[in-house]
Chain A
Amino acid sequence: MTGYFLYAFIYLVAAVIAVPIAKRLGLGSVLGYLIAGLVIGPIFGLVGDETVAIQHFAEFGVVMMLFLVGLELEPRSLWAMKSKLVGLGGLQLGLTTALITVAAMWLNQPFGISLTIGLIFALSSTAIVLQTLQEKGLQKTEGGKSAFSVLLFQDIAVIPMLAFIPLLAIPELINAGTEHGGNASSHDSFNLVEGLAPWASGLVIIGSVAFLTIGAHYLSRPLFKYVAASGLREIFTATALMLIIGIAALMGLVGLSPALGAFLAGVVLANSEFRHELEANIEPFKGLLLGLFFITVGAGINFSVLSENPMLIAGLTIAVMLSKAIVLFVVALIFKIKGTNKWLFTLSLAQAGEFGFVLLSFASQNYVLPNDIISILSLVVAISMFLTPGLFILFDKAIIPRYKSAKSTRSDDEIDEKGTVVIAGIGRFGQIINRLLVANDVKTVVLDIRSEQIDLIRRIGTKAFFGDASKPDILHTAGAHESALLVIAIDDRETAAEMVKYAKHAYPNVKVLARAFDRGHGYRLRQLGADYVVSETYHSALEMGAEALRSLNIHPFHVERQKMAYKNIESQQNDVLYHAWADDASGERIDNNYLKLFIELESLIEKALKADLHDKHSRMRGWTPPPKGYAEKLAPDEKPDETEGH
């Protein structure tokens, strides 16, 4: 037990030290993990044989990643980008695979091995590239979007690859493996379809995939609703984990790839109102497991292999990156991607990716590649990933300046996304806001924690998601960082205040409009940085008061003037009262002595209103007729002055 803690501690310490440093140096977190692995593995030898076992466990992070990729892919938006996806992605993947396969065969490798190598190197690093594009704000450029299409296609293509690669297995390796007592048998010991006739196993496989998609679609919603109704956050997390682990287990039982199953389930759930909540719950696990995976990759790098063949590995790395870049450049030319975007596309995807590692270990398990080749290829994949930040620096320093002069003419097409609005809380209050925005063609993302409410809203055709908007990761997955406005319309005071505080801290450029419960709450929201605060009852109460006056036969326009006067006094006094509140409350805020504070505030505003009522001039101001008899005084005075004037 203590041993496990010790290893876990070493892994975590390495990650905690290396990842922030790598990030600060602009290398990205993936490289941070890899470096952490390098340090604790081959350099200091703190960890050893258990890395392989941990790696198998950490590969589950890839399953989660594919689930999340699936979740991001609404069938509809997938359809909208189909031509780019299939065209760019298909061409890149096909050409790169072909080029590298031919090159490998030229190096005297048999066809099966060459093709596997081609497939492995055709993939780029989704984790590094997407993260770097986002960090540099390039994901909305044409080059960034094209790169995303290719990465997405690759991520999807991994699934058929996982099915295809075992077919290339080399008989001698299998024999060698089984003679050793091979780990294959332990792998398949829970296989349901083993020993069944081909037609029967086919039926079982089709049946389980159908069960998966239909079940995810129809059973998940009542399940999530039931769990959400309990209001227990950790049970929701448990449910999300249960779902993915269950899928992985089911797929394993019928001999399919768990990643494929997770991806399918993700796509099926992409339209679900629980999507953001699921994402937020799975994301940390995925991040940690993938991090762990990268650490084990770093730890598993074989320095002796590198020192034995330094020239071979350097040459292979350069050859791989160069051929990938050439293919990308050609694809960019074919698809008429121009200027800096062409170079961004070419350079950003010229490395091998984390799926390369996955395929390598998969190929090893299935006896497709011999181990000496795998250790060399792992190094090539890792080094090409290490070099990726260098490619981005090259893009920044060498490419952008060359195009700078031409930039002013084409800067317009980059701002193609209208600022969206995130609305937290879609109760009585948020609904009106959402309706007004949607009617004006503003894209909104609506979040609420009550699934019945979401149901109701969805039935009227509004896009809404189940999620606890006060959770930072939910806000992030809802796109708060890219939105123009955040509307906080939730009716829990404390949560609203926490949200304002967090949102202003995390997204200082996003304007925050907040609904206040009452005056004290409103001042608190203002103090926490909300850009606009309105009390939920203020306007409706004023309207009701006005209707009361009208019902008493007071002239409607006079009532309107009274209402305006009230509003004017309110807005004038608001600042004064706010500062008084801020000063007074500083000592007592911890005691939450609001009642006393409110009484003070009420008397303050009442005084202000009364003073204004007695001040005849300002109350009667507006459309005031001149005093009686003014006309007699006006005429003689004015005449001579007027004619002399000019």
Chain B
Amino acid sequence: MSDKSTIEETKRSKKVLVLFAHPAQTESEVNVPLFHEAKLNRHVTAVDLYAEYPDFNIDIEREQQRLIDHDVIVFLFPLYWYSTPSILKEWQDLVLEYGFAYGHEGTALKDKIFLCALSAGGKEEAYQTDGFNHYTIRQLLQPLEQMAQITQMTYVAPFALFGSRTAQEEARVYEHRGKWTTLLNKLTTNSLDIEKAQHIENLADLCTPQGE
């Protein structure tokens, strides 16, 4: 009985890889808690890239194996100049090789799910076409969306927290952390509504802890 349900579970469950990039973790109020939360889930592999490669000497072989071993790839980072911290760009440049991630024989990432989980200092109103930053967060992350496209991954909306510099003072971190836990559970149990998740603006809106 229990054997059967375990098999059933492993069949449905997905393995999630969280690639965490934060170059100033002593200052972190949002991302480090999320990273620790991710480490608690046994179906999630959480990697602190700046800790593993403090000199940016990224082990290509090892990182590619990690990608092969997981079904969902998550970049977890604070937004730096409308993009990822530099180590994630370095990681892309080194790990997503021709013949591995793209190109004729490069199909290692095919049908995996890719998403960004990020915190942005600016307010949500600022990330609008008529707002202070002129572009929505989805628009700004288009290079990553296209990265997912060309590597044949399924791109879902970013899981974003805006106004992150004051989130702690305004007691929003706890709620966001709850949503993150829900997201990880949905991803590992394969119960995220992918169709909805692809088209929504902020994935956090799909992850209220109570349910759908």
The tally of residues in A whose CB lies under 8 Å from a CB in B reads 19
Partner of A623, one of B93, B102, B154: B93
Asked whether, in the complex, the Cβ of A627 is within 8 Å of the Cβ of B154, the reply is: no
Contact of A646 among B57, B59, B60, B198 (CB under 8 A): B198
Interface string of A606-646 (1 = CB under 8 A from B): 00000000000000011111110010011001100110011
For the complex, is B47 an interface residue (Cβ under 8 Å from A)?
no
Task: Say yes or no for A83: interface residue by CB 8 A criterion.
Answer: no
Interface residues of B in 133-162 (CB under 8 A from A): 149-150, 152, 154
The reply on A82 being an interface residue by CB < 8 A is no
Interface set, chain B 15-59, CB cutoff 8 A to A: 55, 57, 59
- In the assembly, what is the distance between CA of A623 and CA of B98, in Å? 10
Q: In the complex, how many residues of chain B place their beta carbon closer than 8 angstroms to a beta carbon of chain A?
A: 19
- Shortest beta-carbon distance from A436 to chain B in Å: 15
A634 to B104, CA, bound (A): 6
- Min distance, Cβ B208 to any Cβ of chain A, angstroms: 24
Whether A568 touches B57, Cβ cut-off 8 Å, given contacts A622-B94, A634-B102, A645-B154, is: yes
Residue from A568, A622, A634, A646 within 8 A of B103 (CB atoms)? A634
- Per the 8 Å Cβ criterion, residues 70-117 of B in contact with A are 93-94, 97-98, 102-104, 111
Interface of B is mostly: mixed
Residues 555-569 (chain A) with a chain B CB within 8 angstroms = 564, 567-568
Nearest A-chain residue to B111, judged by Cβ: A645
A641 touches B57 (CB 8 A): no
Q: How far is the CB of B108 from chain A (nearest CB, A)?
A: 15
* Contact flag A564-B198 (CB < 8 Å), given A624-B97, A642-B152: no
Q: Mark A140-184, 1 if CB is under 8 A from B, else 0.
A: 000000000000000000000000000000000000000000000
Complex Cα distance A642/B57, Å? 33
* Pair B60/A638 contact, Cβ less than 8 Å: no
Q: List the B side residues contacting A627 at CB < 8 Å.
A: 98
A53 to B146, CA, bound (A): 94
Q: Do A630 and B103 have beta carbons less than 8 Å apart?
A: yes
| A564-B57, A621-B60, A623-B93 known; A642 vs B103 contact (CB < 8 Å) | no
Write the chain B residue with the least CB distance to A633.
Answer: B104
Q: Give chain B residues whose Cβ lies under 8 Å from the Cβ of A623.
A: 93-94
Contact B57 A626 (CB under 8 A): no
Instruction: Output the least CB separation between B124 and chain A (Å).
Output: 27
Q: Give the residues in chain B near A564, CB-CB below 8 Å.
A: 55, 57
Quote the shortest CB–CB distance from A109 to chain B (angstroms).
66
B90 to A: closest C-beta gap in Å? 9
> A638 to B194, alpha carbons, bound, how many Å?
21
Q: Which chain B residues border A624 with CB–CB below 8 Å?
A: 97-98
| Chain B residues near A633 (CB-CB < 8 A) | 103-104
CA A621 to CA B152, docked complex, whole Å: 23
Write out the residue numbers on chain A whose beta carbons fall within 8 Å of the beta carbon of B154. 645-646
- Nearest CB in chain A to that of B55: its residue: A564
Q: How far is the CA of A623 from the CA of B58 in the complex (A)?
A: 11
A contact residues around B55 at 8 Å (CB): 564
Provide the bound-state CA to CA distance between A621 and B57, in Å.
12
Main secondary structure, interface of A, reads helix
B73 to chain A minimum Cβ distance, whole angstroms, is 16
A-chain residues with CB within 8 Å of residue B103 when the two chains form the complex: 626, 630, 633-634
In the assembly, what is the distance between CA of A637 and CA of B149, in Å? Answer: 13
User: Please, how many angstroms separate the alpha-carbon atoms of A642 and B110 in the complex?
Assistant: 10
Question: Whole-angstrom distance between the alpha carbons of A638 and B94 in the complex?
Answer: 22
By a CB distance below 8 angstroms, the chain B residues around A638 are 150, 152
**Given A622-B94, A623-B93, A634-B104 in contact, is the A567-B152 Cβ separation under 8 Å?**
no
Query: Distance (Å) between the CB of A113 and the closest chain B CB?
Result: 65
Instruction: Check A641/B152 contact, CB under 8 A, given A624-B98, A634-B104.
Output: yes
Question: Within 8 Å CB of B59, what residues of A?
Answer: 568
Question: Which residue of the partner chain B has the closest CB to A626?
Answer: B98
Contact B98 A567 (CB under 8 A): no
B198 touches A637 (CB 8 A): no
Smallest beta-carbon distance A105→chain B, Å? 65
Interface centre among A567, A568, A645 (most CB of B within 10 A): A645
- In the complex, A393 Cα to B40 Cα: how many Å? 40
Instruction: Report how far A641 CA is from B107 CA in the complex, Å.
Output: 11
Bound complex: CA A633 to CA B103 (Å): 8
Whole-angstrom CA separation of A459 from B152 in the bound complex = 64
Q: Are A642 and B98 in contact (CB under 8 A)?
A: no
A630 to B102, CA, bound (A): 10
Contacts of A625 in B (CB 8 A): 98
* Beta-carbon nearest neighbor of A637 in chain B: B104
In the complex, what distance in Å separates the CA atom of A514 from the CA atom of B63? 30
| Distance (whole angstroms) from the CB of B15 to the closest CB of chain A | 20
**Are A630 and B98 CB-contacts (below 8 A) given A564-B57, A567-B57?**
yes
Which residue on chain B has the smallest CB distance to residue A634? Answer: B103
User: Which chain B residues border A626 with CB–CB below 8 Å?
Assistant: 98, 102-103
Name the A residues within 8 Å of B194 (CB-CB).
646
CB distance from A53 to the nearest CB of B (A): 66
Distance of B195 from chain A, by nearest CB (Å): 8
Instruction: Give the docked Cα–Cα distance between A624 and B94 (Å).
Output: 8
Q: Which residues of A contact B57 (CB under 8 A)?
A: 564, 567-568
Shortest Cβ distance from B102 into A: residue: A634
Contacts of A645 in B (CB 8 A): 111, 152, 154
Question: In the complex, which residues of chain B have a beta carbon less than 8 angstroms from the beta carbon of A634?
Answer: 102-104, 150
Q: What chain B residues lie within 8 Å of A642 (beta carbons)?
A: 149, 152
- Establish whether residues B60 and A622, one from each chain, have CB atoms under 8 Å apart when the complex forms: yes
Nearest-neighbour CB distance to chain A for B41, whole angstroms, equals 26
Q: Which residue of A has the minimal Cβ distance to B153? A: A645
Q: Which of chain A's residues have a CB closer than 8 A to the CB of B195? A: 646
Chain B residues with Cβ under 8 A from A621's Cβ?
Answer: 60, 97
Beyond A630-B103, A634-B102, 16 additional contacts (C-beta under 8 Å) are A564-B55, A567-B57, A568-B57, A568-B59, A621-B60, A621-B97, A626-B102, A627-B98, A633-B103, A634-B104, A637-B104, A638-B152, A641-B152, A645-B154, A646-B194, A646-B195
Instruction: Report, nearest first, the 4 A-B pairs whose CB atoms are least far apart.
Output: A626-B98, A564-B57, A622-B94, A623-B93
Some 9 contacts from A to B, beta carbons below 8 A apart, are A621-B60, A625-B98, A626-B103, A627-B98, A630-B98, A634-B150, A638-B150, A641-B152, A646-B195
